[in-house]
Chains A and B, each alone.
Chain A
Amino acid sequence: MKAKMGIGLVVLTALLFSLCPELPAGAPPAVGGTLPNVALPGPKDGADRRYLGLSGSFKIPEIKAQAVIVEIFSMYCPYCQKEAPVVNQLFARIEGNPALKGKIKMLGIGMGNSPFEVGVFKKKYGVAFPLFPDPDFAIHKRMGEVRTPYFIVTKIHPDGSHRVVYSKLGAFEGVDAFLAAIVRDAGIK
């Protein structure tokens, strides 16, 4: 009888999942864990390709860096709009520091945003780091449908493995403190 019930549940599960092919979203990437296995489209812009050190579709841990800061944002999100100048400051601080430039890289993912909408955000705020569209929320879903702006910092080891060292919703507390924490937690050398 128990076995029958078990089989029943398995069948029910299979049935439900077949009715509902969109799997429930996972949890946001956890500190100490890894990123979901998500591929981003190859950067359209030559400067972005050179900056990230790759061409064609890629996964975040393939980026040539010791750590990558990912911002999940939306052109339509008021807090992301408000935060944009601070995030730009962070990027400028990294690029302006020879000890960090090339070691910490940044990118943004515009959840639910078309390439046009990401372009609007990039132009409006003069964002100098690569931004990627996510028009059908596919990446957002894999990232645990986080609210925005959401920041994830991943440490990339020389052997290609990686580990999430920061994963948090909302504005970070000051550019310098945030940067210092990344350098410490990702062990930037």
Chain B
Amino acid sequence: MKKKGLIGAVFFLGAFLLLAAGAPVYSASEAFKDNIYNTGHLKSRDSVLKVKVGQRAPDFTLRAVAGGPVSLGQFRGKKNVVLSFVPAAWTPVCSDQWPGYNIVKDLFDEHDAVLLGITADNIPTLFSWTNQMGTPWFPVLSDFWPHGKTAARYGVLRSDGTTERALFVIDKLGVIRYIDVHDINQRPSLEVLMGELEKLP
């Protein structure tokens, strides 16, 4: 009898947990259907920043999904730059964040800013994934090989080889003006980012 009770309790607990887990709330867009891998809840931050506000942003050259190399240096003296590192293709929050940026090119333009999206995925994966969003207007860069080199240089490479969900605002002189290494499980507010761009000279 006791055993039965225990089995009942375990069954009940399991059923409850299944129910409580619910559906992932981010990336509930039909565009991704059942193709989003559920990462579950992750450690909010898993790296140590190696740059700070006021410093010159380390230069890098990465391959873009649309073809060709893109360097941070090529925007110096011309454009403000927002770097958006996201953890990985086909994961819940990331599949949500960039489609949002994809409809606000005008807001970036208003602030004379370009957006560079970066993950440590390879080009074919990034190609398939970003195609699901409608092709992004901003360069999507692959920091795949040497794996996560740029992310590591900024201090946003996690111990599992994915990157943090991090935003860097870099002014036209190449100086870092804002850093947000966000809780990986949450989408950063667009409003806050736009507020930071507003502050640029």
Q: Known contacts being A5-B8, A8-B9, A120-B104, is A145 close to B16, with CB within 8 Å?
A: no
Stretch of A36-44, A109-117, A152-160 on the interface side: A109-117
| In the complex, chain A residues whose CB is within 8 Å of the CB of B20 | 20, 22, 24
Bound-state CA distance A82–B30 (Å) is 11
Query: In the bound complex, do residue B30 and residue A147 qualify as a contact, i.e. CB atoms below 8 Å apart?
Result: yes
Mask, A77-98, CB within 8 Å of B = 1, is 1111110000000000000000
A170 lies within 8 A of chain B by Cβ: yes
* Beta-carbon contact of B191 and A147 below 8 Å: no
Question: For the complex, is B190 an interface residue (Cβ under 8 Å from A)?
Answer: yes
B31 in the interface (beta carbon within 8 A): yes
A46 to B25, CA, bound (A): 31
Tell which of A120, A140, A148 touches B190, judged by Cβ atoms closer than 8 Å.
A120
Q: Which of B9, B23, B189 contacts A145 (CB under 8 A)? A: B23
For the complex, give the distance between the alpha carbons of A111 and B189 in Å: 14
Instruction: Give the chain A neighbours of B132 by CB distance below 8 A.
Output: 78
Q: Mark B77-107, 1 if CB is under 8 A from A, else 0.
A: 0000000000000000000110110111001
The verdict on A74 contacting B8 (CB below 8 Å), with A24-B19, A114-B191, A116-B190 known, is no
Asked whether B28 is an interface residue with its Cβ less than 8 Å from the other chain, the reply is yes
Determine if A177 is an interface residue (Cβ-Cβ < 8 Å): no
Q: Does B201 contact A (CB under 8 A)?
A: no
Interface size class of B (residues with CB under 8 A): 20 to 34
10 examples of A-B residue contacts, CB within 8 angstroms: A5-B1, A13-B12, A16-B16, A77-B96, A78-B99, A81-B99, A124-B103, A124-B104, A146-B28, A148-B29
Decide yes or no whether B152 CB sits under 8 A from chain A: no
Asked if B26 is at the interface (CB within 8 A of a chain A CB), the reply is yes
CB distance from A167 to the nearest CB of B (A): 15
User: In the complex, what residue of chain A is closest to B98 when comparing beta carbons?
Assistant: A76
Minimum CB distance partner of B105 in chain A: A124
Chain B, 5-17, contact with A by CB distance < 8 Å: what is the 0/1 string?
1001100110010
Determine which of B28, B133, B134, B187 lies in contact with A147 in the assembled complex, contact meaning CB atoms within 8 Å: B28
Q: Are B28 and A82 in contact (CB under 8 A)?
A: no
B-contacting residues, A119-151, CB 8 Å:
120-121, 124, 137, 140-141, 145-149
